[in-house]
Chains A and B, each alone.
Chain A
Amino acid sequence: MTGRVRPEPVQVVKQRRDATLSALVGRVPFIGTLGAVFERRGDELTAILPFRETLIGNPVLPALHGGATAGFLEVAALVELTWSVLWPEIESGRLTPEQVAQDTRLRMPKTVDFTVDFLRSGLPRDAYARARVNRSGRRYASVHVEGWQDNRARLFAQATGHFVMPEPPVRD
């Protein structure tokens, strides 16, 4: 039996995926300011917004600020879109976590428009979001994102956004 390449050990694969995700998220200062973090299962990402007092927009209820919810969903959509585009490069090893962290030629997609549907007020609890890339072309992409808190089936917000894809980086 020749020609069959032995699969990489699972911990090598996981380490590379996790390091790349954390490099990608770490590139965006706003994500740190907002306090959002990302979890990964295979290629599936979940964005998490741990509750903090600074996210409050209505101190009487209290409820999350609509702007915090919108920013969280936009961050979830952008990271999912970038991640899904980079995935083949990450898997092949052509793109290293160091390149994702430092290479200034690697650009993020640009948001063209983002529409948020606020279904119920955001409770003072952790929030979660998952985004789905509905279309990803060479120049444009359309992404839908769902946000929930205690119950996955009871969304507190959802959003759709359009993005312009960055020019592919020039490789030397």
Chain B
Amino acid sequence: MTAADTEARIAAVRAFITDLPYARALGLELRGVGAGWAELAMPYRADLVGDPATGIMHGGAVSALMDTTCGGAVMSHPDAGLATATLDLRIDYMRGAQPGQTVRARATCIRVTRTIAFVTATAHDDDADTPIAMASGAFTVSRPDGER
């Protein structure tokens, strides 16, 4: 894949990833994307809260942010195609995101084989020192040129 191809791929991911219906429903925003990595943000919303006693956003909303960000990292990898699906995703919730703050997630492909992409992601709120969550997942890989 040439550098121009990679640029075209990144542009495609940029146009595509936050336009997915469920990503739109949660208000996900693309903050950055490069070869094999992606960064997305989820601004705070009261209708995404899990426990009203704390005002903390639900783990299920953070899951969607993590899954989408990991998917973006796979799609933008030069050795993978634009089509990917989650095979397995583990999320560790280290602490609740501070109510009112945007959650940002950054995902990186650790290794991409002919069939599988291994991806990890970290999410933060305004406190950059302590992650709110970490994810690791396995994603399907389609060949960039469409061959199987």
Contact = CB atoms under 8 A, between A and B. Distances in A.
Interface of A: 27-30, 32-34, 53-60, 63-68, 70-72, 74-75, 78, 104-108, 110-118, 121
B48 interface: yes
B88 A57 contact: no
Given A70-B67, A71-B58, A113-B91, A30 B50 contact: yes
A58 to B, nearest CB: 7
B49 A29 contact: yes
A110 B23 CA distance: 24
A67 B52 contact: no
Contacts of B46: 29
B63 A30 contact: no
Interface of B: 20-26, 46-54, 57-61, 63-68, 71, 83, 85-93, 96
A56 B47 contact: no
A110 B86 CA distance: 24
Contact of B89 (A28, A70, A112): A70
23 contacts: A28-B52, A29-B46, A29-B47, A29-B48, A63-B85, A65-B21, A66-B67, A67-B60, A67-B65, A68-B22, A68-B64, A71-B60, A71-B64, A75-B58, A108-B50, A108-B51, A111-B93, A113-B91, A113-B93, A114-B91, A114-B93, A115-B89, A116-B86
Contacts of A34: 60
A29 B92 CA distance: 22
B93 A112 contact: yes
B64 A65 contact: yes
Given A65-B64, A71-B61, A108-B51, 18 more contacts: A30-B57, A30-B61, A54-B21, A55-B25, A56-B20, A57-B20, A59-B21, A64-B22, A65-B67, A66-B89, A67-B64, A71-B58, A71-B59, A71-B64, A112-B92, A114-B59, A116-B63, A116-B90
A116 B88 contact: yes
Given A33-B47, A68-B22, A74 B60 contact: yes
A30 B89 contact: no
Contact of A118 (B58, B61, B88): B88
